[in-house]
Structure 1
Amino acid sequence: MPKNGKLAVEFLNKVLAEGARIPPEDMMFSYKGVLFPAAVCNPGTLQALESFEARTDDIILAGYPKTGTNWLDHIINNLENTAAKYTEEEMKKITDLEKELEVAMRLEFGDPDKFKRMKKLPSRRIIITHLSPHLLPTSVFKNKAKILVLIRNPKDTLVSYFHFKNKVGFFPPSGWDDYFTSFMDGKVGWGSYFDYVAEWDKYTDDENIIAISYEELKENPNVGLKEIAQFLGFSLSEEEIQSVVEKSTFTAMKEKASETHGTFGDILFRKGSVGDWKSMFSESQNKEMDGRFEECLSRTKLGAKIKYDVYCKA
């Protein structure tokens, strides 16, 4: 998310207002076989993205929708701000520039010309995306930008995505059973969860890429934040790490949600818990998800990192 909170709120409020006016049949479009919500993405932007030039010192946060990217975005920005020790004047210059350039919250959001404007952003740029590797510009990998891949167990991801899409109003309406089927078939925004994780798994040995799970960040945020800070080259003391941890709890972020995300705040910060899937999944749905995970991800490194037997077994 941009450091300019007001800019982010304006963007989100605009999306909610305009998205509600889109007919259900026009709410989604397909680009290279993947579905995207028309309220925040358009084919022209995705096509223009192919020529985007990443910088070596860019930080890319990649995560499938509803895996905790807003949370981790908040953490990374807090880590950077704390390590950089910006003065009020320096911070104002950055936020004023972001407002002038109107840079949308996610790499794939907004208009096609945004990438030209992003060239004017100073290093280091923190860039958030829900895109799979094959849809990212090749410069991200060629220029060895640092990539942090965020993963979350599929059952909680599905439940969170279901509640989110029903609240925002710019996804086609559906009940739980129908949405479960759509998710399992990859017929949701940003495509298949299983393909997403499997594709990123191919990059886990790259020295410029690390993966972290939502669950491990919840379990031990201090350890997780230290790992992230070290990977990104942020130098912070134990006290500074603890300060960022305290600012990044779900309760702390939810209390400031209206300030940081406007009307969107209540939608984004619903529960922030682990295990919410137990309230939604039927026995047959549990078996279907268990089987799909075993088939697609159980033998991958990212699949092991999800700790499926710990978090997804009834």
Structure 2
Amino acid sequence: MTTTHRKKFIALIDKAMADAETMAPEELVFSYKGLLYPSTVCSLETFKALESFEARSDDVFLAGYPKSGTNWVGQILTDLVLTSAKNNEDTSNLDNEQLEEFPYLEVGDPEKYQRMADLPSRRVIFTHLTPQNLPASVFKNKAKILLLIRNPKDVATSFYHFVNRLSPLPSYNTWDDFFTAFMNGQMVWGSYFDFVFEWNKHADDANVMAITYEELKENRPLGVKRISEFFDLQLTDDEIQGVVDRSSFKAMKENAGKTHGAFGDILFRKGGVSDWKNHFSEEHNQKMDATFEERLGGTELGGKLKYGVYCKA
């Protein structure tokens, strides 16, 4: 991703971190439609404005629960789209700072959507929202959506380290406190289990492609190729390999200062699989295993997560 495409990203996060320093813990979040959101980067006014957002059929959406790898896969997706645009000599959306928007749909000021209407296609848009909280136009206009899911034990572990290092989010004194909040869905953007359960209703939609963080980790070249084909980006094998090389965790971590500012160090922590084993007790395992079985056992996405492979001690 080009550096100019990141200036707005860095500015927004830096401001959120600065604002949070002067806020009381209870001021850091607000509730909308029963879910919590960070008040430094989201607002009720923005959510109201979002309802009338007009999606395009050629928009490139990435949906994922927080800490499922959306920044990593978002970089892959943006790189694929920019590489494809260069091929088509469509330079209109390559490097113009006026055309930047913070990539997460629900993050920013209420006027953001009017500015987005002026952006050329293809717009790359990330979101942590469940399908019923997305604007109706996304499904009506059949925009293609890459749905990224990751095993819940690693999501919880990554989220725990993330909130305790990021001032705009409420922090937790102990892992136990965090685990209770996570299992009760008292997190920003709501419950992991609700997120996967609601998206499972769209798992068979022709315009939705589900991919797991774990399968991308295991075979990034194949995953990147599948993503490129799903969005009809028509890249050569060499171009796909270039995207693969630029999206290694090592390359992204080294480049994090340029792409994400001070936030980069917080964002790219380990990027591995099975870090949960360093945190989960037998009691935590039993609780999460039972909840997973109850909420996602037998579902298409639940099966895709290979819980028995990635979440059993």
Q: Identify the TM-score tier after normalising by the shorter chain.
A: over 0.9
Task: Tell me the residue number matched to 2:86.
Answer: 85
Aligned pair partner of 1:125 in 117, 120, 123: 123
Aligned pair partner of 1:148 in 146, 153, 172: 146
Q: For 2:62, what is the secondary structure of its paired residue?
A: strand
Cα distance in 2 for partners of 1:7, 1:111 equals 12
Task: Tell me the residue number matched to 1:75.
Answer: 76
Give the residue type in structure 2 aligned to 1:15: A
Give the residue type in structure 1 aligned to 2:299: T
Alignment partner of 1:269 is 2:268: yes
Cα distance in 2 for partners of 1:297, 1:67 equals 17
Task: Tell me the residue number matched to 2:39.
Answer: 38
Q: For 2:262, what is the secondary structure of its paired residue?
A: helix
Deviation at 1:98, TM superposition (A): 2.2
Give the residue type in structure 1 aligned to 2:113: F
Cα distance in 2 for partners of 1:70, 1:93 equals 19
Cα distance in 1 for partners of 2:59, 2:11 equals 25
Cα distance in 2 for partners of 1:93, 1:224 equals 24
Deviation at 1:245, TM superposition (A): 0.7
Deviation at 1:5, TM superposition (A): 1.8
How do 1:161-172 and structure 2 match up within 5 A?
161-172=159-170
Say how many residue pairs are matched.
Answer: 311
Task: Tell me the residue number matched to 2:57.
Answer: 56
Task: Tell me the residue number matched to 2:11.
Answer: 10
Task: Tell me the residue number matched to 1:304.
Answer: 303
Q: Is the 8 A contact 1:97 1:121 kept in 2?
A: no
Give the residue type in structure 1 aligned to 2:251: A
Task: Tell me the residue number matched to 1:250.
Answer: 249
Cα distance in 2 for partners of 1:117, 1:85 equals 23
The Cα offsets for residues 108-130 of structure 1, whole Å up to 9 and x where unpaired, read as 11111111111010001011010
CA RMSD, Structure 1 to Structure 2 (Å): 1.7
Give the residue type in structure 2 aligned to 1:304: G
Specify every segment of 5 or more residues in structure 2 that has no aligned partner in the other structure, as ranges. none
Specify every segment of 5 or more residues in structure 1 that has no aligned partner in the other structure, as ranges. none
Task: Tell me the residue number matched to 2:235.
Answer: 236
The Cα offsets for residues 248-293 of structure 1, whole Å up to 9 and x where unpaired, read as 0000000000010000000000000000000011110011000100
Task: Tell me the residue number matched to 2:134.
Answer: 136
Q: Is the 8 A contact 1:133 1:200 kept in 2?
A: yes
Q: For 1:212, what is the secondary structure of its paired residue?
A: strand
Give the residue type in structure 2 aligned to 1:230: E
The Cα offsets for residues 34-86 of structure 1, whole Å up to 9 and x where unpaired, read as 11111111111111111111011111110000000000110011111222226
Cα distance in 1 for partners of 2:181, 2:21 equals 21
Task: Tell me the residue number matched to 1:22.
Answer: 23
Q: For 1:17, what is the secondary structure of its paired residue?
A: helix
Cα distance in 1 for partners of 2:39, 2:147 equals 25
Q: Is the 8 A contact 2:92 2:120 kept in 1?
A: no
Cα distance in 2 for partners of 1:73, 1:136 equals 18
Q: For 1:85, what is the secondary structure of its paired residue?
A: helix
Q: Is the 8 A contact 1:61 1:128 kept in 2?
A: yes
Q: Is the 8 A contact 2:93 2:120 kept in 1?
A: no
TM-score normalised according to structure 1 size: 0.95
Name the % identity: 54
Alignment partner of 1:157 is 2:155: yes
Q: For 1:223, what is the secondary structure of its paired residue?
A: helix
How do 1:90-239 and structure 2 match up within 5 A?
90=91, 94-99=95-100, 103-174=101-172, 175-239=174-238
Task: Tell me the residue number matched to 1:293.
Answer: 292
Give the residue type in structure 2 aligned to 1:141: F
Cα distance in 1 for partners of 2:216, 2:274 equals 15
Q: For 1:144, what is the secondary structure of its paired residue?
A: coil
Cα distance in 1 for partners of 2:13, 2:254 equals 18
Cα distance in 2 for partners of 1:107, 1:220 equals 28
Task: Tell me the residue number matched to 1:66.
Answer: 67
Cα distance in 1 for partners of 2:256, 2:312 equals 32
